[in-house]
Amino acid sequence: MANRPDLKKSFSTEDTLSRFQSTKKIMESSDHTIIFLDPKKILPFSHRTTILHPEKIDEMRQSVVQKGIIQPAIVRCHPEKKGYYEMIAGYHRQALAIELGLELPCMIEDLSDDEAIIISADSNLQGGFDRMLPSEIARTLKAKYEAEKRQGKRTDLHPSKEGPETSGPEDQKLKWDLRGKQARKYVRIAELSESLLDLLDQGFLGINAAYLVSFLSSEEQDCLTRILTSGTEYQKLNEPKAQILKDLSEQKALSESRMKSIIMEKKQPARNLSLPYSKIERYISGKSKKEAMEYILKALDFYEFNQTYN
């Protein structure tokens, strides 16, 4: 096995800074000022939805070996801690900079909370859904939607119970190649409890099933979690069963025992009965398949009636 290169030696802080033709000095880049910061002085954004993915850090590490950290992170001054910053976009770069002992190129922006939320969400979403957990997509889209709604920019992702508000065709795509109907579904899924979101990420809930049970009350969701995680193996919840749970919840008829019986119910294998045609030909000759079936069922009903009352 080849020895892992000494990345700190390969790209020291000074080497990285030299790629931007500066050593611990502010430099100009088009309309933005880039400054190198101690990554440990950058704290998580209070509305963070980003989850660190080790595989993404591994991919970025090789790029840093070859080129250094070229793309600057976006930060803003911390609203409470003087001399510290809040990370808006660039968590994976920050993690790598801390690991390798590098300073992190940053753009310091003067942003409101809503502006910061939108930039952070866009940064996450542009990285690709295939790199995000379902709960991460849901939280990110919800945070972005609520921030834009407060700014009066959109209402088309409204995840209401009666049906989402729309401002255009149902299949109109959003900027991240996600259709509006799908996006609204994810926004609604963000209403799930943390435990159910974890089960969603682990594959015990599908997207459609998660959307349906997001309409359950918090108490019903807690009950659902207990049932799904009881026993030695977790239970999976499919879409048909999730629809039943949602319907019963809306009817105020979803008790814990009823929920458990629905979830634990095993699908019965289909059973078919074949009859030799020669034995029944004289009864159904000339009849269609549907007519023959109706004739046989009526004959059985008549037989059962006579057996009961004669």
Domains defined for the chain, CATH in brackets: 8-111 (3.90.1530.10), 112-190 (no CATH), 193-265 (no CATH)
Confidence of residue 310 (pLDDT cuts 50, 70, 90): low
In a 10 Å sphere around its CB, with 0-12 CB exposed, 13-18 middle and 19+ buried, how is residue 104 labelled?
A: buried
DSSP assignment letter at 173:
B
Write the DSSP assignment of 81-128 as a string of letters.
STT-EEEEE-HHHHHHHHHHT--EEEEE----HHHHHHHHHHHHHHT-
pLDDT at 215: 96
- Within 13 Å of residue 9, how many CA atoms lie on the same side as its CB? 3
Taking the C-alpha atoms of residue 3 and residue 45, their distance in angstroms, rounded to an integer, is: 36
Looking at residue 158, its pLDDT comes to 54
Answer whether 295's CB lies under 8 Å from 284's CB.
yes
In this predicted structure, what is the pLDDT of residue 13?
40
The pLDDT value given to residue 1: 39
Percent residues over pLDDT 70 in the chain:
75
Q: Which of 15, 20, 103, 3 is nearest to 65 (CA)?
A: 15
Three-state secondary structure call for residue 21? coil
Q: How many residues does the chain have?
A: 310
Across the chain, mean pLDDT equals 78
Secondary structure letter of residue 130 according to DSSP: G
For the ranges 100-109, 110-119, 209-218, the one whose mean pLDDT is highest: 209-218
Q: Cα 223 vs. chain centroid, distance in angstroms? A: 21
At residue 179, φ and ψ (nearest 5 deg) are -70, 150
Interval 95-99 mean pLDDT: 86
- Global pTM value: 0.60
Above 60 in pLDDT, residue 307? yes
How far apart are the C-alpha atoms of 76 and 91, rounded to whole Å?
A: 14
Rounded to a whole number of angstroms, the CA Rg of the chain reads 30
**DSSP H or E stretch at residue 202:** helix 194-202
- pLDDT of 214 above 90: yes
Lowest-confidence range among 40-44, 65-69, 154-158? 154-158
How does pLDDT run across 269-281, given as a tens digit for each residue? 666 778 888 888 8
What digits encode the pLDDT tens for the residues 218-271? 999 999 999 999 877 888 999 999 999 999 999 999 999 999 999 988 765 666
Among the ranges given (24-33, 63-72, 135-144, 200-209), the one the predictor scored with the smallest mean pLDDT = 24-33
Kindly tell me if the per-residue pLDDT of 65 is higher than 60: yes
HSE-CB for 57 with a 13 A CA cutoff: 15
User: Which is it for strands 104-108 and 73-77: parallel, antiparallel or unpaired?
Assistant: parallel
CA distance 120 to 151: 16
